[in-house]
Amino acid sequence: MVVGEPKVQNDTTYNRVNKNISILDISTVATVGAMTASALPSLKPVAPVATPKTKPTPTASTAPAGTPKGPSSPTITADDLAMKTRSQIRDLAKAKGLKPGGDTAHPDYPRKFNDPVTGEERIRLDRGHVDPKTGKPYNNPKAAADHVHGYDEKGAKIKHAGDPHIPTKGE
């Protein structure tokens, strides 16, 4: 057998295996070809498969508003601190994730609590102040009694009724 070149005849391509193919051979080839073609599933174009893309980790500059950007400073309000006992304020500081600070030998330790992110002071429990010049209590009754100071995430004083000396009640 001699393999021939493909030829186009009536818009159909035939591979001639032998120039001397008989009519019987052509009909057999046509029948087998038709059976094979009908047995194959119809080929449809397939849409490209989307490959999953990994999203970049959000950063402070790419994270959408309201998206956590990692550890953040806790929010503390005057209402969180006002008229609470010193023990309640210590419990609040612990619940907010603040870190105890100050002199560990001080009898009131811990009385200062620092921000876990910035390291800055956020809460400070104070006993009543006296004026160091006169040795007398300040004219501000809130400063003269036990009180607490609070600072927001940016370091600004938290005020209760316009005063940074937020009253406490008991131990």
Q: Got the DSSP string for 10-75?
A: TTEEEE-S-TT--HHHHHHHHHHHHHHHHHSPPP---PPPPPPPPPPPP-TTTSPTT---SS-PPP
3-state secondary structure of 81: helix
Predicted structure pTM score: 0.58
pLDDT digits (tens, 9 = 90+) for 117-161: 999 999 999 999 888 888 888 888 899 999 999 999 999 999 999
